[in-house]
Amino acid sequence: MNTHSQPNTLIIEQASYWAVLIDEGELSQRQHHELAQWLVESPTHVQEFLHACTLLDVLDDIDPNKNISVEGLLKKISTPDVEPISITSKPAPYAYEKPARIETKKRPTRMFWALAASLVLSVLALYQFTPAVLPLKQQTISHSVNYVTTLGEQRSITLSDGSIIYLNTLTNVDIDYTPQFRNIVLHNGEAIFKVAHNPDKPFRVWVNGTMFQALGTEFNVRSNKGNVELTVINGVVALTKNARKHQDASVSEESVRLDSNAEIEVPLGRPLIVSVGQQATVKEDGKITTLVNADVDKKTSWKAREMIFKNDSLEDVIYEFNRYNALQISIASEQLSKMSITGVFETNDPQSLLRFLESSGKAKIQRHGANSVTILAL
Residue 248: predicted pLDDT? 72
Phi/psi for 221 (5° steps) reads -125, 130
Residue by residue, pLDDT tens for the chain (378 residues) are: 433 334 456 677 777 777 777 776 666 666 776 777 677 666 677 777 887 777 665 545 554 554 544 455 445 444 434 333 333 333 333 333 333 333 433 444 444 445 455 555 555 555 444 333 333 333 333 357 899 999 999 999 999 889 999 999 999 999 999 889 999 999 999 999 999 999 889 999 999 889 999 987 899 999 998 899 999 999 999 998 888 777 776 666 667 887 878 888 877 778 899 999 999 999 988 889 999 999 999 999 999 999 999 999 999 999 999 999 999 999 998 889 999 999 999 999 999 999 999 998 889 999 998 899 999 998
Residues paired with 234 in a beta bridge: 218
| SS3 state of residue 160 | coil
- For residue 274, what pLDDT is reported? 93
Distance between CA atoms of 136 and 77, rounded to whole angstroms?
9
pLDDT of residue 12: 76
Judge contact between 84 and 41, C-beta under 8 A.
yes
pLDDT, residue 107, reads 45
Alpha-carbon span 15 to 23, nearest angstrom: 12
Domains of the chain in start order, with CATH, are 9-133 (no CATH), 145-296 (2.60.120.1440), 305-377 (3.55.50.30)
Q: For residue 119, what pLDDT is reported?
A: 52
Tell me what pLDDT residue 296 has: 96
Q: What is the pLDDT, as a whole number, of residue 215?
A: 84
Query: What's the pLDDT score for residue 244?
Result: 79
CB 171 within 8 A of CB 156: no
Query: What pTM does this model have?
Result: 0.63
Residue 208: per-residue pLDDT: 87
Strands, DSSP E only, in 304-371? 306-313, 328-331, 340-346, 363-367
**Please, how many CA atoms are within 13 Å of residue 150, restricted to the half-sphere of its CB?**
6
